[in-house]
A and B are shown apart, each in its own frame.
Chain A
Amino acid sequence: MLGYLAVMLFLPTAAMLLKASQEPPTEFWRIATSPMALATYDVTFTTSLVAALLNGLFGTLIAWILVRYDFPLKRFIDASVDLPFALPTAVAGLTLATVYSDNGWIGSLFAPFGIKIAFTRLGVGVAMVFISLPFVVRTVQPVLMEMEKDIEEAAWSLGASQWQTFWHVILPPLVPAILTGVALGFSRAVGEYGSTVIISSNTPFKDLIAPVLIFQRLEQYDYTGATVIGMVLLIISLVMLLAINFIQAWGKRYESQ
């Protein structure tokens, strides 16, 4: 087992770390902060964050209606939330690019207002929303199911309004789960390639994302350039992983209080 891990995971990681460490720090920094690279970070991280936050809001709402209300096709809708995990990303990119293009089902509704979605940064955002959709729903759902209705009813009978009950009683215990979901969604969106490369026009300084830049550098046999941008993404992923573990530990402490 450790042998498999070593061959499959440690060796490739070591190869990349070594390749990165062979670059002098000044050169590494120059490539990592070149204007084109900085522009891709902006597109990648800002768009991912907006997509993750949007899913934080709507994912919580979806978890809420799935746990608290009964409506037709509920089982189907609950199961379908996992579709972005099961659908290959190339298919997601293909169909989103069609549906959100100027003459697509949804894109054509926006086109008259001069809003282009596919092949712009907005389209990249739509793809990121798609692939990070299940995380918040799936982290919030179990917490909501565990939640005692008694406390809410107590709040109500003490005269709290619906809004007050939501804000002071229901929301606080959900916060760690929502944050975990947002962080997981964000880190998934940052690394995403398949759907975003198809829906993006991949124009530098406009909607080119960091993973696509790595791919383009490799195609030009610029291994150093690819490795440096790859290291930036790797470091961000590891930081996110730590952050998620931290949020979860914090959430557990919250529960036990």
Chain B
Amino acid sequence: MVSLPNSEIQNFPTKPRSPAKENKWVPVVLIAIGIAYLGLVLYIPALNVFVQAFSKGVGPFLHNLTRPDFQHAVRLTVLLALIAVPLNTVFGLCAAWAIARRQFPGRTLLLSIIDLPFAISPVVAGLMIVLLYGRQGWFGPFLQEHNIKIIFSLPGMALATAFVSMPFVAREVIPVLEEAGVDQEEAAKTLGANGWQTFWRVTLPNIRWGLLYGLILTNARAMGEFGAVSVVSGNIAGKTQSLPLFVEEAYKSYETEAAYSAAVLLALLAVVTLIAKEVLERKTRSRGIH
């Protein structure tokens, strides 16, 4: 499979030829190979999620949606996103502003540091949080003394979720801020606007699509995170089981149908995310940003 495109190309005659005589079937073959590859890796597996979920009709699917442990998983997933997304939005905006508007030593270093959560394996991220807040961790004795539970409960899961979805907002807002420049902000200040007014009336409208894009990506990651949350949660059904954890648990206990019912919801989230991304990219492109 690996050598296919090469051998296709090597079959061309090596005689000089003009662009007008370009082999007409070359694009067809290349497109066919590309789509076949995407089909095997992406489309067939994606289609399978929907086929499996509704293989026995909508009835069993709806029945699975009423399971208490399932509903709890949905609520927990939404809650985790509601905690992580606002935190990372505020952080992302501050970080983007500092990087795009200020000159200070270590600026590029800060940029790399913000990207770190993408480079670190989610399992390692979860492990770090366990080593910090777990029974054996730095804060373990203190937390136990005050009867505060972080690992195997909601706060730990929220920390893990916020960790892995940290860089998105900053990443999307920095280029937009840099593109927008400082002229309008300075004009607003000259006209007597204070910092807060400048932000709300000038900066925010300029960066709104980039910010929204960052929010959507943060939300998708927060709702879909598995590895880091899995490490810190303990995966207790009806307690610390988010929707992705429910998928794995159901699959492992041979409740394939339930697994696919939950998977469909998460797949729909992915589809909505991709559509929103497409729409926002077109919006930013038409405004000359990007």
Give chain A's interface residues, CB within 8 Å of chain B: 1, 4-5, 8-9, 11-13, 15-16, 18-19, 54, 57-58, 61-62, 64-65, 68-69, 71, 77, 79-99, 104-106, 126, 129-130, 133, 152-153, 156-157, 159-164, 166, 187, 190-194, 197-198, 211-212, 214-215, 218, 223, 226-227, 230, 233-234, 237-238, 240-241, 245
Give 1 or 0 for each of B1-39: 1 = CB within 8 Å of chain A CB: 010010001101111111100110011001101110110
Assess whether B49 is in contact with A16, with CB atoms less than 8 Å apart. Answer: no
Please give the distance in Å from B111's CB to the nearest CB on chain A: 10
Closest to B226 in A: A194
Report the bound CA distance from A73 to B17 in whole Å: 31
Query: Could you tell me if A1 and B94 are in contact, using CB atoms closer than 8 angstroms?
Result: yes
Min CB–CB distance B160 → chain A (angstroms): 10
What total of A-B pairs shows CB separation below 8 Å?
260
Contact B16 A241 (CB under 8 A): no
Cβ of B226: which chain A residues have Cβ within 8 Å of it? 88-90, 193-194
Determine which residue in B87, B138, B163 has the highest number of CB atoms from chain A within 10 A of its CB, and name it. B138
15 additional A-B pairs beyond A5-B91, A79-B278, A211-B121, beta carbons within 8 Å, are A16-B127, A57-B5, A61-B5, A65-B34, A83-B270, A84-B42, A89-B244, A92-B45, A156-B19, A161-B16, A163-B12, A193-B227, A193-B230, A223-B131, A234-B124
B112 touches A241 (CB 8 A): yes
Q: Which residues of B does A touch, CB under 8 Å?
A: 2, 5, 9-10, 12-19, 22-23, 26-27, 30-31, 33-35, 37-38, 40-46, 48-49, 52, 87, 91, 94-95, 98, 112-117, 119-125, 127-132, 134, 136-138, 159, 162-163, 166, 217, 220, 223-227, 230-231, 243-245, 247-248, 251, 256, 259-260, 263, 266-267, 269-271, 273-275, 277-278
Is B91's CB under 8 angstroms from A1's CB?
yes
How far is A144 from B239 in the complex, measured between Cα atoms in Å? 49
Minimum CB–CB distance for B27 against chain A, Å: 5
Interface of B is mostly: helix
- Distance A99 CA – B256 CA, assembled complex (angstroms): 13
Chain A binding surface, main DSSP class: helix
Residues of A within 8 A of B46 (CB): 83, 87, 95
Query: Which residues in A have their C-beta under 8 angstroms from that of B35?
Result: 77
Choose among B43, B127, B248 the residue that contacts A230 (Cβ–Cβ < 8 A): B127
Bound state CA distance, A192 and B180, in angstroms? Answer: 36
With a cutoff of 8 Å between Cβ atoms, the chain B residues found around residue A160 in the complex are 16
CA distance A88 to B267 in the complex (A): 7
CB distance from B77 to the nearest CB of A (A): 10
A-B contact pairs, 18 of them (CB 8 A): A1-B91, A5-B113, A8-B159, A9-B163, A64-B30, A65-B31, A86-B270, A90-B266, A91-B270, A98-B256, A106-B40, A133-B41, A161-B15, A162-B22, A191-B119, A197-B248, A237-B119, A237-B120
**Nearest chain B CB to A102 CB, angstrom units:** 15
Docked pose: A242 CA to B115 CA in angstroms: 12
Contact B42 A133 (CB under 8 A): yes
CA distance A183 to B121 in the complex (A): 15
Given contacts A1-B94, A89-B224, A90-B244, contact A12 B125 (CB under 8 A): yes
Report the Cα distance A12→B271, complex, angstroms: 33
Q: Does A9 contact B91, Cβ atoms closer than 8 Å?
A: no
Contact status B224-A126, CB under 8 Å = no
CA distance A57 to B34 in the complex (A): 10
Q: How far is the CA of A161 from the CA of B180 in the complex (A)?
A: 45
Q: Are A198 and B48 neighbours in the complex by a CB distance under 8 Å?
A: no
- Most central of A65, A88, A130 by chain B CB within 10 Å: A88
Q: A79-B277, A87-B224, A161-B17 are in contact. Are A214 and B49 (CB under 8 A)?
A: no
